[in-house]
Chains A and B, each alone.
Chain A
Amino acid sequence: MRRVNKDEKSRISLTLNGRKMAAEAEPRMLLSDFLRHSLGATGTHVGCEHGVCGCCTVQIDGTAVRSCLTLAMQAEGRDVKTVESLAGPNGRLNTLQQAFQKHHALQCGFCTPGILMSFTDFLSRNPKPTEEELREVLSGHICRCTGYAGIMAALKEAVGIS
């Protein structure tokens, strides 16, 4: 059994975007803060810290979750992926990212990393979703800039819905 007292910092290690990393943290450290401020992965954004907006969505063992509702301790030893993992090593955007650019699916870009991480998970399980299913998954995110039209257009193109 892993057990840590409240004011005790312990070393939390996990695999972030394929690299094993570790840092010290109290048990209450949120995964969103741990990724951003302890591990330096600032691509994951914090928008509401109560699980509604979806900006902080990352993948743990391939599953998209809210990192603001997850303790760093819960990700210990797990495989965590963030938006920084998506582009190729030369910075080449993947299909989904390219579709977002083409269809102007982002403006300020603050919500975008979470949306990309949600759909990277969802599309890996459902490569040929309906428009309705895309909409349902997207409804787990708030975007204030776009009105969602560009995002839907990008998603539809990425999955081959014309």
Chain B
Amino acid sequence: MSKRLGTRVVRKEDPALLSGRGRYADDLPVPAGTLHAHVIRSPHPHADIVSIDATAALAMEGVWAVITGVDIKKISDPFLVALKSPIHQWSLAVDRVRFAGEPVALVVAENRYLAEDAAEAVAIEYTPREAAIDPVEACKKSSPLLHAEAKTNEISVRTFRYGDTKCAFETADKVIKLTVDFHRLSFTPMECFVAVASHNPADDSYDCMANFQGPFSTHPVMARALRVPGPKMRLRIPPDSGGSFGIKLSVFPYVVLTALAAKITGRTVKWVEDRAEHLLAASTGPNRVTEIEAAVTKDGKILGLRMDQLEDYGAFLRAPMPGPLYRMHGAITGGYDIANIDVTNRVVLTNKMPASLIRGFGGPQLYLALERMVQRIAIELGLEHLDVIRRNLVQPEKFPYRAAAGGLYDSGDYPRAVETAVGDGRLDYLKKRRDEAREAGRKYGIGFAVVVEPAMSNMGYLSTLLTPETREKAGPKNGATSMVTVNVDPLGAVSVTADVTVQGQGHETVLSQIVADRLGLQPGDIDVTLEMDTAKDQWSIAAGTYSCRFTPGTAVAAHMAAGQLADKLKRIAAKQLNVMAADVELADGKIRSISNPDNALPFGRVAGTSHWSPVMLPDGMVPALSETGVWNPPELEPPSSDDRINTSLTYGFVFDMCGIEIDPVTYQVKVDRYTSMHDAGKILNPLIADGQMRGAFAQGIACALYEEFVTNEEGAFLTGTFADYLVPTVSEVPPVEMLHIESPSPFTPLGAKGLAEGNCMSVPACIANAIADALGVKDVRLPATPRRIHALMASNGGVR
């Protein structure tokens, strides 16, 4: 029977979603009498709360409560953070607000309309304070302080040295410097946050439902804030979610807030975030200022790098921040063989929305700096950009390759990927287009970007933030456990649960492919249920869907669970078939002898034996057809005493190449042609993989050309609607040619790597490089809007 893994199986998820039968968080039934909450938010970026007067609101019929920071401080604790720094964040502001949009009070009423009316009747007096907005300014002593007890806004500084960077810079032919700014944006899932909670005073337990995405390391953070042990904070995650892209981690403070509201009111409380709230205050990717210096030989070999990365996390450090600053750490040298690098990582807080998880998670920031630098090296040395790339790529014979900062790159053939992409006349075509355009006086540029795409994070990477001495005391942190359970019922029906949250990636389909192949069944025979219930499902701190952990992680656990089950079924069947277990296979819905396929039993019959007739089982076999696969790869070790860390299990490769033109009338950057080469190892479902890459590409375009959260100097937020925060429509997303080579990962039994984040990382860098080429400029700020392009041209010799 042909295997289904690796084929374009259409999605099992689709019929329900196409018929309006999805079960998203706001669709699920709630108990009669459920109350609805609305959050009152700070209009100020930084202010003291003088008074909150809810008298008029509470007098309105149908209003149950107006809850403030004073109320929740009595019954909850601040959220745990990764950094030992005196930064206290509760689910509502206590005494002071630190960003425009920060929750200040919660109105609980019989319906949402009424709750919004009552919110307008709450009188809140503030004393505004000066705000720290710019990350560089915020580090200065003269800056307003966000958290007085921390004594500084720059709450973490760590320097890492790998190799002999000093020597590299001393012996270099040239040192090249660049400052790169990366902006704030979000990928704004179409479904906003939803949280529903009830409280049982009999045992002080909470029952919560939210469209949370994980990681479940955040569950203890919520439970601790609620002052209950984990099992007393049951968290259920609905079967469908309207997208996440990292953002829905940040529903967690609202899970706690609705839980507290349920305790205070004695009713189930439901909160549905609206779009204005989402844009203002839900979450953002962090902005970063990178000072990067390269020591190079005159033929373009990079001998060493120095990087100073200042990352702005907004008003609070939200668990598990500062992830983006450390998630890429082991792979900080990207696709290049660079032995010497010094890195300083700095975390700063400012009076802006807190930053958190977002697709790409540190990759876009890193690669914009690194890839802009590679282009600058070419310009300053008078070389071709592509030749500088070629000169520095990690060579295929070096795999598995240990990168300077500790990343263990599993497999790849970077030169082949690059040469395949530029071949077949693709680069020649772009050069011809560029020549023609320039001949006609138009601005045309070619860009390249090289990206190493990590997947399945080592949960210990964040501890690199701590000094080796502190880590020593705290004990080693590593690993990333994935768990999947496969059950077979008495009639042979197969069901699967897994430690992922659904966000639209098609996990149900791919898990059914994996399990079907192992059990000799069809994907249609496998029922996969991915709604999560922390009280009943298997999960670890790594559970959830983020950082491409499905393919190298959960998919492997499913492969293992189904394999364990297959082995058990073979042994049961061997006894009944009267053959050795080694001679048994599962195929075509049967369990049969390999040497004599006619000697066969239906799958369901063997399954029934375990349920109904344990007496017929082989000696010593435990009954029950339920197997959990647990996957925790050995390559994910804790950080070493010299700060080297293998941050992820697999490392894919992306090489992008594009031609762009500046529209001479509108100053809009127009993508003329875009090619993206991927090596993600084995592809489990090409249809779904293609969808993931095209989705990431569109978000890369959004980041490069359209989307930005804008806060002015005073801290006012200017992009509060979808008319100001510009999400590309079909008209703004150019076509892309996707190419593949396959270097299977030796570190996972399926050989598959992550692939859903690479284009979020590569596209901004590639387009920035093309703009730099088109305009002959050094500093390219993203998103490259007509306004910015026009200003760049005006300062660089004229706009017309």
> Which residues of A are at the interface with B, using a C-beta cutoff of 8 A?
26, 28-29, 36, 41-50, 52-53, 55, 82-84, 86-87, 91, 93, 97, 100-102, 104, 106-113, 116, 135-136, 138-152
Contacts and interface: CB of A to CB of B under 8 A. Distances in A.
Given A52-B722, A144-B187, A42 B20 contact: yes
Given A142-B727, A148-B733, A43 B190 contact: no
Interface string B704-742: 000000000000000001110001011101011000000
Given A135-B731, A145-B695, A110 B191 contact: yes
Contacts of A146: 691, 694-695, 698
B616 interface: no
B190 A47 contact: yes
A144 B243 contact: yes
Top 8 A-B pairs, shortest CB-CB distance: A43-B20, A108-B504, A110-B242, A109-B17, A147-B698, A107-B504, A52-B722, A83-B20
B645 to A, nearest CB: 31
Contact of A49 (B17, B241, B274): B274
Nearest to A110: B242
Contacts of A144: 187-190, 243, 245, 695, 699, 727
A111 B727 CA distance: 14
Nearest to B691: A104
B490 interface: no
B475 interface: no
A5 B349 CA distance: 49
Contacts of B727: 53, 142, 144
Interface stretch (B22-30, B159-167, B389-397, B439-447): B22-30
A48 B730 contact: no
30 contacts: A28-B113, A36-B27, A42-B27, A46-B26, A49-B275, A52-B722, A53-B275, A86-B20, A87-B18, A100-B18, A101-B14, A101-B18, A106-B18, A107-B691, A108-B189, A108-B190, A108-B243, A109-B504, A110-B22, A110-B189, A113-B20, A139-B729, A140-B729, A142-B722, A144-B189, A144-B190, A146-B695, A147-B698, A147-B733, A149-B735
Contacts of A42: 20, 24, 26-27
Given A101-B11, A150-B694, A107 B19 contact: no
Q: Which of B22, B276, B727 has the most CB of A within 10 A?
A: B22
Contacts, number: 173
Contacts of B11: 101, 104
Interface string B170-206: 0000000000000000011111100000000000000
Contact of B15 (A101, A145, A147): A101
A123 to B, nearest CB: 16
Given A50-B276, A108-B243, A149-B694, 5 more contacts: A29-B113, A50-B722, A107-B503, A108-B190, A147-B697
Contact of A82 (B14, B20, B721, B736): B20
A97 to B, nearest CB: 4
Nearest to B113: A28
B688 interface: yes
A94 to B, nearest CB: 9
B690 interface: yes
Contacts of B275: 47-50, 53
Nearest to B272: A46
Contacts of A36: 26-27
B695 A45 contact: no
Contact of A152 (B276, B504, B730): B730
B21 interface: yes
Contacts of B687: 104
Q: Which of B244, B698, B730, B731 has the most CB of A within 10 A?
A: B730
B17 A112 contact: yes
Contacts of A148: 698, 729-730, 733
B505 interface: yes
Interface string B673-707: 00000000000000110111011111100000000
A82 B22 CA distance: 14
Given A52-B723, A91-B15, A104-B690, A143 B190 contact: yes
Given A104-B11, A150-B694, A53 B20 contact: no
B530 to A, nearest CB: 13
Interface string B213-242: 000000000000000000000000000111
B15 A109 contact: no
Contacts of B794: none
A82 B21 CA distance: 12
B190 A45 contact: yes
Contacts of B735: 149
Contacts of A143: 190
Q: Which of B20, B24, B275 has the most CB of A within 10 A?
A: B20
B506 interface: yes
A100 B15 contact: no
A84 B27 CA distance: 14
B10 interface: yes
A30 to B, nearest CB: 9
Q: Which of A52, A102, A109 has the most CB of B within 10 A?
A: A109
A149 B736 CA distance: 9
Contacts of B48: none
A116 B18 contact: yes
A155 to B, nearest CB: 10
B733 to A, nearest CB: 6
Given A135-B730, A135-B731, A91 B19 contact: yes
